[in-house]
Amino acid sequence: MARTIDIKADRQAALEAACAALADGFAIAIPTETVYGLAADATNPAAITRIYETKGRPRFNPLICHMADLAMAEEHAEFDPVSRALATAFWPGPLTLVLPLKPDSPIHLLATAGLDSVGIRVPKGFAGALIGAFGRPLAAPSANTSGGISATSAAHVEADLGTKIPLILDAGASAVGVESTIVKVEDGQLRLLRPGGLAAREIERVAGKPLLRAKTASAAIEAPGMLASHYAPGASVRLNVTAVEPGEALIAFGSAAVSGADGARIILDLSPHGDLAEAATNLFDYMKRADASGASSIAFSPIPEEGLGEAINDRLQRAAAPRD
């Protein structure tokens, strides 16, 4: 059973217990502003193996390495001017940069899946302080079983992984609610590898150039976590629904009118006022609640493809993708 420590109640105890568990090579659940992470020492192969085993995650899938600050990131990766400008503008925050790995970085190849690049981000709040105290980067995917819905609360982590990990640090609900936006600068071009908690237009504003979207499925393999089926609830998923079937769970947006809503098993509105940031915050929790309602199908109202809507729609398409 995992021990849970509320970081608001005892931040120092949380830091000390986390540093001790990480030094012993354990994978532990930590809060970040995007989603909860399953974190381990990125330089320790046995610790990284624990992440893969705990999640049941395919090992060809590289992990994001979390740093305390830009200075720590520069010890491990080569920054081009555009990436540095983005890091300066948005770190700490929900942006991951894929950068060339420095040959002398102690980050283990199990964390990078043997690539000569590394995905780096500097998380906000407690996680950043923890990495500073620990002194080494933390590899951390979302703290959930591979292919399932990401955890945005300590209770989500406990329900999914509580018997498999020693420690969960609880900082309440994740503020952003979807994973970080992943960007790579290549040949002077800026490529979006995964839409996420930082809206594309914010990145374009600072970079002064367009973010190129992956056009083909094979391009998406570049960020191998972008497998088609992901974030899958137990129930099947229908998107862009304007009429709900009797007994379906309905996840609405912006108080949109949905015919048949009277017969829905449960109705949850991601943001009654149509705020996409609020919708992102609620997304994974509402998916879990709709799933737990016992409905065999979850119907989603259309979500506008703007701002954080791009990341929400990306996650919904994966939740709805055929599973194999």
| Interacting residue ranges for ligand TXA, rule: CB under 6 A | 32, 34-35, 37, 61-64, 96, 98, 112, 115, 117-119, 121, 123, 140-142, 179-180, 182, 193-194, 222-226
- Least distance in Å: CB of 237 to ligand TXA? 20
Instruction: Write down the H helix ranges in the chain.
Output: 11-23, 45-55, 70-76, 81-90, 109-112, 126-134, 154-161, 200-207, 217-220, 276-292, 309-320
Q: Please, which residue, 226 or 270, has the CB nearer to ligand TXA? A: 226
The one of Mg ion, ligand TXA, none whose footprint includes residue 64, by CB under 5 to 8 A per kind, is: ligand TXA
229 is in an annotated binding site: no
Per the CB < 8 A criterion, the answer to whether 283 and 178 are in contact is yes
Beta strand 181-186 pairing with 138-139? unpaired
117 is in an annotated binding site: no
Q: Cβ-closest residue to ligand TXA?
A: 225
Q: Which two tokens stand for residue 322?
A: 């055929």
DSSP conformation letters of 21-57: HHHTT--EEE--SSS-EEEEETT-HHHHHHHHHHHT-
- Least distance in Å: CB of 55 to Mg ion? 8
194 is in an annotated binding site: yes
255 is in an annotated binding site: no
The one of ligand TXA, Mg ion, none whose footprint includes residue 112, by CB under 5 to 8 A per kind, is: ligand TXA
- Least distance in Å: CB of 150 to Mg ion? 5
The one of Mg ion, ligand TXA, none whose footprint includes residue 32, by CB under 5 to 8 A per kind, is: ligand TXA
Cα-atom radius of gyration of the chain, to the nearest Å?
Answer: 19
DSSP conformation letters of 274-313: --HHHHHHHHHHHHHHHHHTT-SEEEE----SSTTHHHHH
Per the CB < 8 A criterion, the answer to whether 217 and 295 are in contact is no
Query: Cα-flanking dihedrals φ and ψ of residue 151, to 5°?
Result: -90, 130
Q: Please, which residue, 145 or 297, has the CB nearer to Mg ion? A: 145
Find, among 300, 262, 297, 268, the residue nearest to 285 by Cα.
268
State the number of binding residues for Mg ion (CB under 5 A).
1
152 is in an annotated binding site: no
34 is in an annotated binding site: yes
- Least distance in Å: CB of 205 to Mg ion? 27
The residues near 63 (Cβ < 8 Å, ≥ 6 apart) are 42, 48, 51, 111, 112, 113, 119, 139, 140, 141
- Least distance in Å: CB of 141 to ligand TXA? 3
- Least distance in Å: CB of 11 to Mg ion? 26
Edge-to-edge strands of the sheet including 249-252?
236-238, 297-300, 249-252, 266-269
Q: Please, which residue, 63 or 268, has the CB nearer to ligand TXA? A: 63
Per the CB < 8 A criterion, the answer to whether 51 and 139 are in contact is yes
The one of Mg ion, ligand TXA, none whose footprint includes residue 224, by CB under 5 to 8 A per kind, is: ligand TXA
Q: Please, which residue, 142 or 271, has the CB nearer to Mg ion? A: 142
Q: Confirm or reject binding of residue 43 to Mg ion (CB under 5 A).
A: no
Q: Confirm or reject binding of residue 34 to Mg ion (CB under 5 A).
A: no
x-marked contacts with Mg ion along 128-157 as a string, rule CB under 5 A: --------------x---------------
Per the annotation, binding residues for ATP are: 57, 61, 150, 194, 231
Q: Binding site, residues?
A: 34, 57, 61, 66, 121, 140, 142, 150, 180, 194, 231
List contacts with Mg ion (CB under 5 A): 142
